[in-house]
Amino acid sequence: MSEGTGFHRAYRYRLRSNRKAEAVLRRWAGCSRKVWNLALAEQQARRERGEKYAGFAGMCQWVTTWRKAPETAYLAEVPVHVLQNVVRALDGAFQRFFRKEGGYPKFKRRGDPIGLRETDVKCFSVDAANGRIRFPKVGWLRYRASRPIEGRAITVTLRAEADGWYVSIACAFEPKALERGPKACGIDRGVANFAAFDTGQRIAPLDAHKRSLQRLRRYQRAVTRKIEAAKVAAGIPKGKPFPKGFRLQPSNRLRKAQARVAKIHQGIARQRADFLHKLSTQIAREHALVCLEDLKVRSMSASAAGTQEAPGKRVRQKAGLNRSILDQGWTMFKDQLAYKLEWRDGVLVLVHPAYTSQRCHACAHTHADNRKGEVFRCRSCGHTDHADVNAAKNILAAGHAVLAGDGHALVEGQVQSGRPVKREPTEGLRHAA
């Protein structure tokens, strides 16, 4: 993202093993989780009393009070900026909730990931030449310098993952003259084809989660069996939920099973990120203008279960489609394209997704029956094309209309049948099941 004329870039490295320092960082992560939960509970109490929401400055005063209180004096061990950045993140979550861009913030459970962020450049140092950083109250930490750092370090964040601790160093830099192609393209994102270009090129999906699903389920069942065994050993009847406030003491076998599941999820996330980074970099290098649909992924992947009074239909099929949609990483792909194009003075245009799959690019005739699976055949002029490629051509035309100031020109028409508009073809349900 840009700030003024500069840009920000993050470098992520794995910390070298230091058990003493990692023990301190784990305690700090627990303290940060405690501050998050205390601040969230206080915000809920204020709402019940009819008081106004307390912003970031107010929550920082709470942090100071908690650090001095005898019952939470252990919070003073953690650098104050780290705890202030925790409530800053909570304030950001509330602001997204107020703008209806996210759900209500939730309490963090033991084991939930939380970052330790230091934003005061006077309190940390980065020795890139020797591959180490100095973090307040913990000293110098060595990291695996897999690539050089460019720019001026502005924040440092430590975070625990399944295989150890990692450091993210955010740097401000002035971009060089980066290579950028002269072309424009429209891209239709989907499940059967991750990306279809207006030129006819189609990119197959990675489906990282789907490839690991069988192995993941096997280890998840192992975790469930060990949790049930530990529940019975604690005197809780089998099949009954844990009492409120009860904390299960996991066995070594349960910890190992949970670690296996966490590593599988970590591998899935890394495979997806690698795939999206390589593809988005290639697109940003070759194009000056990229047009995408402004997809509402949260709404598209909503559950179809319904309620007891009005149960949903084809719930299992919709669950499979939702899983496939979330497996693609469409939002991550859009965000990566946005900043990589910005570095190269390119433009990303988001267009309204209505009817792009049903409109004929040749004659502009719009009908729900124009598309049958992956085949597009216009009922008016007979134009035939791959359905996703035809949609990509419509997206590119809509992007040019947005740049020309007539963004709604291509979405004012109505579907010429009484059937509802579908963003995904019915074949997608069978592919995702």
Q: In this structure, which long-range contacts are made by residues 195-202, counting pairs with CB atoms below 8 Å and at least 24 apart in sequence?
A: 195/279, 196/386, 196/388, 196/389, 196/391, 196/392, 197/389, 197/392, 198/389, 198/392, 198/393, 198/395, 198/396, 200/386, 200/389, 202/386, 202/388, 202/389
Average pLDDT of the chain, as a whole number: 87
β pairing state of 125-127 and 139-142: unpaired
Q: Residue 331 corresponds to which tokens in the numbers above?
A: 């939002």
Instruction: Note the Cα 243 to chain centre separation in Å.
Output: 32
pLDDT of residue 237: 83
The predicted-structure confidence for 16-59, as pLDDT tens digits, reads as follows 988 899 999 999 999 999 999 999 999 999 999 999 999 999 99
pTM for the predicted model, two decimal places: 0.83
72: which DSSP letter?
G
Asked whether residue 3 carries a pLDDT value surpassing 60, the answer given is no
Decide: 203 and 191 in contact? Cβ < 8 Å.
no
More confident residue, 177 or 351: 351
Catalytic residue among 91, 118, 198, 293: 293
Assign 427 to helix, strand or coil: helix
pLDDT band at 204 (very low <50, low <70, confident <90, very high): very high
pLDDT of residue 281: 93
Lowest-confidence segment of 43-47, 161-165, 243-247 by average pLDDT:
243-247
pLDDT band at 180 (very low <50, low <70, confident <90, very high): low
360: which DSSP letter?
-
The predicted-structure confidence for 354-402, as pLDDT tens digits, reads as follows 899 999 999 989 998 898 888 999 998 889 999 999 999 999 999 999 8
Q: What is the distance between the alpha carbons of residues 169 and 10, in angstroms, rounded to a whole number? A: 5
373: left (phi over 0), alpha (psi -120 to 50) or beta: left
Asked whether residue 177 carries a pLDDT value surpassing 80, the answer given is no
pLDDT of residue 1: 44
327 is catalytic: no
Assign 346 to helix, strand or coil: coil
**Radius of gyration of the chain measured on its C-alpha atoms:** 25
Beta bridge partners of 306: 311
Q: Residue 313 corresponds to which tokens in the numbers above?
A: 């239909």
Q: Where are the beta strands (DSSP E) in 190-322?
A: 195-197, 202-203, 287-293
Beta bridge partners of 186: 291
Asked whether residue 69 carries a pLDDT value surpassing 50, the answer given is yes
CA torsion angle 341 343 344 345 (round to 10): 80
pLDDT band at 413 (very low <50, low <70, confident <90, very high): very low
pLDDT of residue 5: 46
pLDDT of residue 65: 96
Instruction: Note the Cα 309 to chain centre separation in Å.
Output: 33
Assign 172 to helix, strand or coil: strand
**Percent share of the chain, pLDDT over 70:** 91
What are φ and ψ of residue 104, in 5° steps?
Answer: -70, 135
Q: What is the distance between the alpha carbons of residues 54 and 59, in angstroms, rounded to a whole number? A: 7
Q: What is the distance between the alpha carbons of residues 282 and 259, in angstroms, rounded to a whole number? A: 35
Instruction: Note the Cα 204 to chain centre separation in Å.
Output: 21
Catalytic residue among 91, 118, 188, 327: 188
pLDDT band at 240 (very low <50, low <70, confident <90, very high): confident
The predicted-structure confidence for 295-351, as pLDDT tens digits, reads as follows 888 888 888 787 767 777 888 888 888 999 999 999 999 999 999 998 888 899 999
For residue 299, the one-letter residue type is S
Stated as kind and residue range, the H or E segment containing 41 is: helix 19-48
188: left (phi over 0), alpha (psi -120 to 50) or beta: beta
pLDDT of residue 306: 75
Q: What is the DSSP string of 232-259?
A: HHTTPPTTPPPPTT------HHHHHHHH
Q: What is the distance between the alpha carbons of residues 389 and 200, in angstroms, rounded to a whole number? A: 6
pLDDT band at 254 (very low <50, low <70, confident <90, very high): very high
Q: Where are the beta strands (DSSP E) in 311-405?
A: 347-351, 371-372, 375-377, 384-386
More confident residue, 347 or 238: 347
Task: Sketch the domain layout of the chain as residue ranges.
Answer: 2-173, 208-432
pLDDT of residue 4: 41
pLDDT band at 111 (very low <50, low <70, confident <90, very high): confident
Decide: 385 and 376 in contact? Cβ < 8 Å.
yes
Q: What is the mean pLDDT of residues 120-146?
A: 94
Decide: 167 and 181 in contact? Cβ < 8 Å.
no
188 is catalytic: yes
Asked whether residue 246 carries a pLDDT value surpassing 90, the answer given is no
Catalytic residue among 91, 198, 385, 388: 388
**Percent share of the chain, pLDDT over 90:** 65
Q: What is the distance between the alpha carbons of residues 102 and 107, in angstroms, rounded to a whole number? A: 15
Asked whether residue 423 carries a pLDDT value surpassing 60, the answer given is no
pLDDT of residue 431: 36
Decide: 17 and 164 in contact? Cβ < 8 Å.
yes
Assign 166 to helix, strand or coil: strand
120 is catalytic: no
Assign 125 to helix, strand or coil: strand
For residue 31, the one-letter residue type is C
